[in-house]
């Protein structure tokens, strides 16, 4: 499942990547609870570097999930990432064949780097297919994944029918610019949009939408 906290105009961060905090404390706690209910918590490379999240469950009682980063074309600065310092092991998925930097000696033991044979997206850019990501993680003992952003990563899972459930939190905030929650292929008709079954909840004055893609039957 995935979760994003967004503004009323569908932004998850300012253009420069600042996103703290769009939502209220109740949502942060909710996100920590969701982390604790899954085997792994996964983020895209931009979220890992811009947010530098700890990915712990410190606001609730429970066990920390295994952090997973999807590394793309750019190299991450692993020395700076808090999650690597905090967790025993962090899984880094990267496109097979990529010329990667050598992992720093001091944190080498804490990173399980797994290559995945990349495919091509609509713009011929190499991507890791969500089905391959899920398969590799399953082979490594992970059977439930909480995808915590950012927008590009969640969009790619959504677009490939790889999400069972999406939690979208709405904060009463407008930016008028910023990084989008969703970037999907252009459609020519409303019927081609992704429609959901929906429940909504009040989270201390803000709204959480629980969205079930129409084709899913959970
Ligand atoms: N409000 C919220 O709930 C929330 C949650 C999380 C993050 N955020 C914010 O969102 C922003 C980052 O989101 P974003 O949408 O810009 O980026 P993102 O989804 O965090 O990361 C996207 C990047 O990750 C790599 N990647 C992800 N999936 C991949 C795949 N399947 N195959 C290959 N590479 C893949 C690529 O890296 P390369 O570019 O290196 O190829 C891609 O450009 C930050 O500002 C953060 O603060 C907000």
Q: Are 38 and 65 contacting, i.e. CB atoms less than 8 angstroms apart?
A: yes
Contact 73, 126 (CB under 8 A): yes
- pLDDT at position 218 is 52
Q: Is the dihedral of CA 39, 22, 50, 161 positive or negative?
A: positive
User: Is domain 2-213 in CATH 3.50.50.60, yes or no?
Assistant: no
pLDDT-derived band of residue 29, with 50, 70 and 90 as boundaries?
very high
In the block, residue with structure tokens 């904060």: 171
What's the rounded mean pLDDT across residues 160-181?
98
**What are the backbone dihedrals phi and psi of residue 78, each rounded to the nearest 5 degrees, phi first?**
-65, -30
Pocket of ligand 1 (CB under 6 A): 4-5, 12-13, 17, 19, 22, 43-47, 50-51, 70, 72-74, 127-128, 148-153, 156, 179
| Cβ(154)–Cβ(181) below 8 Å | yes
Question: Which atom of ligand 1 is nearest to 5's Cα?
Answer: 3
Report the percent of the chain where pLDDT is more than 70. 98
Domain coordinates in residue numbering, the chain:
2-213
- Render pLDDT for 185-218 as a digit per residue (tens, 0 to 9): 999 999 999 999 999 999 999 999 999 997 655 5
Three-state secondary-structure class, residue 49: helix
pLDDT at 216: 59
pLDDT over threshold 80, residue 130? yes
- DSSP state for residue 146 in the 8-state scheme: E
Rounded to a whole number of angstroms, the distance between the first and last alpha carbons of the chain is 11
pTM of structure: 0.97
Pocket test residue of 15, 76, 149, 182 for ligand 1, highest count of atoms within 8 A of CB:
149
pLDDT band for 100, please (50, 70, 90 cuts): confident
């Amino acid at each position: 499942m995935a979760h994003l906290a967004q503004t009323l105009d569908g932004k998850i961060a300012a253009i420069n990547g600042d996103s703290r905090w769009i939502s209220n404390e109740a949502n942060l706690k909710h996100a920590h609870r969701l982390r604790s209910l899954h085997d792994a918590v996964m983020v895209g490379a931009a979220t890992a570097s811009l947010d530098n999240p700890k990915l712990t469950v410190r606001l609730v009682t429970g066990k920390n999930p295994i952090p997973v980063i999807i590394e793309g074309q750019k190299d991450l600065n692993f020395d700076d990432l808090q999650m690597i310092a905090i967790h025993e092991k962090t899984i880094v998925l990267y496109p097979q064949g990529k010329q990667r930097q050598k992992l720093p000696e001091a944190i080498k033991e804490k990173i399980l780097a797994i290559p995945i044979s990349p495919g091509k997206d609509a713009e011929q850019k190499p991507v890791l297919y969500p089905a391959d990501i899920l398969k590799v993680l399953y082979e490594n003992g992970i059977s439930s994944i909480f995808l915590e952003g950012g927008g590009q990563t969640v969009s790619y899972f959504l677009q490939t029918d790889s999400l069972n459930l999406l939690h979208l939190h709405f904060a009463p905030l407008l930016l008028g610019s910023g990084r989008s929650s969703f970037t999907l292929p252009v459609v020519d008709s409303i019927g081609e949009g992704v429609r959901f079954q929906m429940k909504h909840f009040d989270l201390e004055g803000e709204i959480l939408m629980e969205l079930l893609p129409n084709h899913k039957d959970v």
